[in-house]
Chains A and B, each alone.
Chain A
């Protein structure tokens, strides 16, 4: 079973994403901001990370840059999942090492097709 870390400051979004990803047979861990996510990655590097952009303490893009510098941090497939939907943000995310990008709102079909594209399914 592959593991996925869901990083989002909204409990509701985490719950929706968890339900979708559990149906796709992922073992789920959750984090409410980038720093908590960092700790989780130090304990156990997940196969996939679904990552929000705007969060308190440490935001998604900061987390991603830190992750990619970490030992073994190049391995997880990172899929941004954010309300930021302009080309500038998307380009910045890809340049910082994101593998895919989801613009909220999302549904099962979008998550499934994006995870399929990056070879997670």
Chain B
């Protein structure tokens, strides 16, 4: 793949999704886009690039952006964030939302659905305490193709063994041939919808908890700042934002701050903390 082709494709992906592809990611572009080239009856990524130049079909553009932004996902990825959700965030919500009896959770960039379904299983394990509550899990992703897979709730033997405790597999999945189908009750707890994080987040409404793990790492600084500021606006004053292990808000936005002693969780910046940081900066 020559530099022109790389530049054309990487700037298209960046413009549409915010994903930054540095020149060392040429192999990634090539390996992810070859199946797209074949789907569009092209022999190579170079030919795909020529097709895009001569006829920028919106469906072709969507296929390219989706192929580049789809990521692997695990049930209960990294375990700890979900343990913290059980031991810290959920008890907080059970107390603070006792009058409203309503919880809204957003799984941003949910990929094939393992994250929102993991949360749904945890919430289902507390269904007695949540009886009469309105619990919403909104799961979004850029890719409509991956959302179809997420909605179907069918996973391979490999996928159900990555992070899913055996007791939960037995309890919430049915075996259908070589696939594992998640329970209809768990599926119905999650509302999947296509959404691009570069759009105005206001349309999604207010959330008590936002999971946005391992997404920001793909964005450049201004995009990270824009997304985090937007999330801060959609997050309840006492809400919790989860980022991935390699991500942070520090040096990117002053609207959010880490929750002390709970790695990976961020909360609204307190008025006291903001001037302190401004003074330090």
Residues of A within 8 A of B (CB): 85-87, 90-91, 94, 98, 100-103, 106, 109-110, 113-114, 116-117
Contact = CB atoms under 8 A, between A and B. Distances in A.
Interface residues on B, range: 10 to 19
A109 B163 CA distance: 9
Interface in B140-184: 157-158, 161-163, 165-167, 169-170, 174-175
Contacts of B158: 110
A114 B161 contact: yes
Contacts of B167: 94
B50 interface: no
Nearest to B78: A116
B74 interface: yes
Which residue of A98, A102, A103 has the most chain B CB atoms within 10 A of its CB atom?
A103
B166 A101 contact: yes
Given A110-B158, A116-B79, A117-B79, A94 B166 contact: yes
Given A85-B157, A87-B175, A113-B74, A100 B170 contact: no
Given A87-B175, A113-B74, A117-B79, A102 B170 contact: no
B165 A117 contact: yes
The 6 closest A-B pairs by CB, nearest first: A101-B166, A110-B161, A113-B163, A117-B165, A100-B166, A103-B157
Interface of B: 74, 76, 79, 157-158, 161-163, 165-167, 169-170, 174-175
A106 B160 CA distance: 12
16 contacts: A86-B175, A87-B170, A87-B174, A87-B175, A90-B166, A94-B166, A94-B167, A101-B166, A103-B157, A103-B161, A113-B162, A113-B163, A114-B161, A116-B79, A117-B76, A117-B79
Given A103-B157, A113-B74, A91 B162 contact: no
A85 B156 CA distance: 12
B79 A102 contact: no
Given A94-B167, A116-B79, 7 more contacts: A86-B175, A90-B166, A94-B166, A94-B170, A109-B162, A114-B161, A117-B76
Contacts of B174: 87
Nearest to B174: A87
Nearest to A98: B166
Which residue of B166, B167, B169, B170 has the most chain A CB atoms within 10 A of its CB atom?
B166
Contacts of B76: 117
B175 to A, nearest CB: 6
B177 to A, nearest CB: 11
A110 B162 contact: yes
Nearest to A93: B166
A91 B170 contact: yes
A106 B158 CA distance: 8
A90 B162 contact: no
Contacts of A85: 157
